[in-house]
């Protein structure tokens, strides 16, 4: 899933933020940032590793997890917990493009979705909560069309 034009600046901003936070620069980190900057939805560490391998950029899974931890620590990626111990990572982007996730419990397909009414409802609910809501994530589980038909 490739991000819309203009969102590739996320990688450059992330690289600056990591540098400002004291993290060293490196080719593996840059390759991971560029890949994530191109995505419009979440990827697992395994998917990141495989995508980089297909680009002829070998990066160990341990490096992927280390970089994801660093990015999460400075709020540049968010973890998307999709159940059954599976975690995916998604670049944090403010403004347009916010979405939630549909997860097929049979095949693992992850699909982004948006719903304006859901967002309005979340804003109304957040006004009644005893905390200032900084983010939210909705993950809906079920069976995709292919799995539901089989």
Residue-wise pLDDT for 63-100, tens only, equals 999 999 999 999 999 998 887 788 999 998 776 667 89
* Alpha-carbon dihedral sign for residues 68, 72, 78, 81: positive
pLDDT given for residue 97 in this prediction: 67
Set out the domains of the chain in order of their start, with CATH numbers: 1-93 (1.10.10.10), 98-150 (3.30.1490.190)
pLDDT band at residue 5 using 50, 70 and 90 as cut-offs = very low
Higher pLDDT among residues 82 and 51, named by residue: 51
Q: Which of 90, 80, 86, 102 is nearest to 148 (CA)?
A: 102
pLDDT given for residue 96 in this prediction: 66
pTM metric for this prediction: 0.78
pLDDT band at residue 108 using 50, 70 and 90 as cut-offs = confident
SS3 104: strand
């Amino acid at each position: 899933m490739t991000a819309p034009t203009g969102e590739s600046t996320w990688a450059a901003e992330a690289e600056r933020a990591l540098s400002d936070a004291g993290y060293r620069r490196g080719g593996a980190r840059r390759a991971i940032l560029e890949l994530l900057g191109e995505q419009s939805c979440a990827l697992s560490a395994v998917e990141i590793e495989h995508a980089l391998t297909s680009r002829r950029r070998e990066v160990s899974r341990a490096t992927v997890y280390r970089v994801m931890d660093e990015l999460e620590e400075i709020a540049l990626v968010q973890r998307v917990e999709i159940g059954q111990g599976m975690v995916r990572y998604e670049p944090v982007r403010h403004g347009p493009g916010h979405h939630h996730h549909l997860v097929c419990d049979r095949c693992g397909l992850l699909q982004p979705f948006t719903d304006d009414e859901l967002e309005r409802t979340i804003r109304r609910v957040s006004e009644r909560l005893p905390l200032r809501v900084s983010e939210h994530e909705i993950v809906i589980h079920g069976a995709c069309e292919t799995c539901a038909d089989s």
